[in-house]
Amino acid sequence: MPPEDLNLDEEGKAGKGKFIIMIVGALLLIGASVGGTLYFSGALDKKDEVEEKVLAEINPTFYIDLEPEFVVNFAGDQEASYMQVGVQLMTRDQHFVDEAMKQMPVIRHQILLILSNQKFAELKTKEGKDKLRTEILNKLQEMIPGNPKVPGIEAVYFTMFVMQ
């Protein structure tokens, strides 16, 4: 007969419970490791790339070159006296290209007004140029509204930026 302080049934149950907890913990650790690896390697972002490729195939990219370049004078005592900027607009629908061409005098006028109100000190930084590009884009999107899936004017690009 076994001694009374040796109760194998309770220890056997406790041992099985600990074993199950260890197995579940190991599986959680493996799952977290695989998930973290997929997340940080960018494998989960492939869906966005596929959606962008499909969108690009459905809606090709059109660029509108606003020629001639814009030339504006800086007002007051600033380090530079004038600025020359080449601008291109991007859209994904021929309809918006046609609409922009119809409104080209108004588009150029609005861009000239925005450019003429700039300060040299702000524009010599990348942040200043990005702010200017965003300001022009917002104004053009007001003028040529798109739809929820395709904005009228999707982007504004500076193809030349000279300040002297």
pLDDT higher than threshold 70 for residue 162: yes
Q: What pLDDT digit, counting tens, does each position of 10-47 carry? A: 555 567 778 888 888 888 888 888 777 777 777 666 65
Q: Decide: pTM greater than 0.75.
A: no
Segment holding 29, helix H or strand E: helix 8-41
60-163: CATH topology: Tetrahydropterin Synthase; Chain A (3.30.479)
CB atoms inside a 10 Å sphere around CB 104: 11
Domain boundaries, the chain: 8-55, 60-163
Beta-carbon contacts of residue 92 (< 8 Å; ≥ 6 apart): 55, 59, 60, 61, 62, 150, 154
The stretch 76-83 carries a mean pLDDT of 82
- pLDDT 10s digits, 85-104: 999 999 998 999 999 999 99
In this structure, which amino acid lies at residue 90? M
- Report how far residue 103's alpha carbon sits from residue 54's, in angstroms, rounded to the nearest whole number: 30
The three-class DSSP label of residue 64 is strand
Mean predicted confidence (pLDDT) in 111-138: 94
